[in-house]
Structure 1
């Protein structure tokens, strides 16, 4: 009898999207084919500590929960890069040395979707699900991504980029004249619309800047356009397959984290 492929689901993490990641891991755990795959849950709390978690523990977490507590019985996880191809992910404990065949990173935002964890897995020569280092890094940084899209001739909304050191120099009047009203302020490297605000008047501007800079050292200010949000998943390397397109229909004024 062939042994099941052992998949390490990596979730949680240090970013502001920690709770979103926990919910994503729950969804994957529920949907995965248990007849074909053996799941090893690797939870990362907000301090960055790696621990093996029980599937029953994850299933009991409610929506919006975080990995706030590390149980004493949780096993610590250690990643050791080695030279041979197909190296696995060892976890040292008093019980046994566990390994996984492939890692499924379900980390959202910085340290998860920005190429950092992908680089770690590349160094360890461990197969993983998702985009590689470069694709992840470019896709996470909205400023870099928009510049590359624009260079390729793909239309993007007008935007301005600022870093934290220029906070006092960001002038509402100049931004309004260039982008119009309303406009959006958002962190450059974050997802789930966290830290994003729609600005309709000057009085909202400074607080939106400060909130965006809480999550990133670089922010984007974008013009507001009326458009549709279409999403499509693509899976595969040499012979990729694409899902049917889906459309996000927010019930609020815009697609915010709360929405």
Structure 2
């Protein structure tokens, strides 16, 4: 099997680390993916874009790459564009879908246009929003509300605002990370996530994972390092609700043009079990606490086999033009 996979994939680069605020998580994801691929006999090599020029991707003569980068310069379409130029097939969504998904505001707009519900929101200028405007938004969306840096992930640049007195501090925190601050209606209820694999008609949702963090605080520490957070997979949901959330995940995945794999996050409102899509992650974590491997495991798919499946779907979005 090892020789077969080595011949099938050739020389593989695992891209991890990078320059975003999520570098630490990406290093953990990439290490896991690299070890998994090598355990299958695949000729896999580490590549950190923060330490090496992207020009070296061409000189390394990789036949394909596994993107285990998170956040800016890896998950936002910029790297995908460079790989298209270099003609190196890569895992996950292409340039457009990656760029849209990296912007939580644009993701909401696109998904709403396709009938995927998302919490009410207002996009605010990080440098030109007055305290009066913040109060108006709070009155419009209600308290508590969420403030987010829409181009970050891993719960970086996010604040839950409980009272009007906390508005400015929460806004200032998010404004450190972005030129836009997303003010979002707070949905009280259950936090769910759904991995989606495949493309087009073949896109399929994996089992739903429910996240139960201490005091509902699923922050950076509880997401990646704490053992206090509970993960329930498959989530203990009524079958009809589970299927609805999975269907919405696939719809959101398709709406922004995702291919290969992604993970779609939801809140299900406590009062009426209505699901609301929060965001789409086009290069989800692959650490020991990560949710895509957990969901795949519930179907009998081991971490190593999941990595191989994702790698097998690596491709180029654009067809090379004929040389005249």
TM-score over 0.5 for the alignment? yes
Instruction: From 113, 134, 147, give the equivalent of 2:109.
Output: 147
Shift of 1:242: 3.9
Structure with the greater relative contact order (CA < 8 A, sep ≥ 6): 1 or 2? 2
1:7·1:102 contact (CA, 8 Å) conserved in 2?
yes
| Structure 2: runs of 5+ lacking an equivalent | 223-324
Q: Tell me whether 179-188 or 236-245 shows the greater mean CA deviation.
A: 236-245
1:129 and 1:235 map into 2 onto residues whose CA distance is: 11
1:16·1:215 contact (CA, 8 Å) conserved in 2?
no
Aligned residues: 216
Q: 4+ runs of 1 displaced by more than 4 Å? A: 1-4
1:10 aligns with 2:5: no
1:43 aligns with 2:5: no
Higher Cα radius of gyration: 1
Instruction: From 26, 44, 58, give the equivalent of 1:90.
Output: 58
1:40·1:100 contact (CA, 8 Å) conserved in 2?
no
TM-score normalised by structure 1 residue count: 0.76
1:126 aligns with 2:88: yes
2:45 and 2:150 map into 1 onto residues whose CA distance is: 32
Instruction: From 142, 147, 151, give the equivalent of 1:189.
Output: 151
Report the equivalent of 2:269: none
1:105 aligns with 2:110: no
2:197 and 2:211 map into 1 onto residues whose CA distance is: 20
Report the equivalent of 1:247: 210
Report the equivalent of 1:136: 98
Q: Helix, strand or coil: the match of 2:24? A: helix
Q: Helix, strand or coil: the match of 2:71? A: coil
Question: Which structure has more helix as a fraction of its residues?
Answer: 2
Shift of 1:79: 2.3
CA RMSD of aligned residues (A): 2.1
| Structure 1: runs of 5+ lacking an equivalent | 51-76, 81-88, 92-97
1:164·1:217 contact (CA, 8 Å) conserved in 2?
yes
1:160·1:221 contact (CA, 8 Å) conserved in 2?
yes
C-alpha spacing 1:246/1:253, structure 2 compared with 1 (3 Å): closer
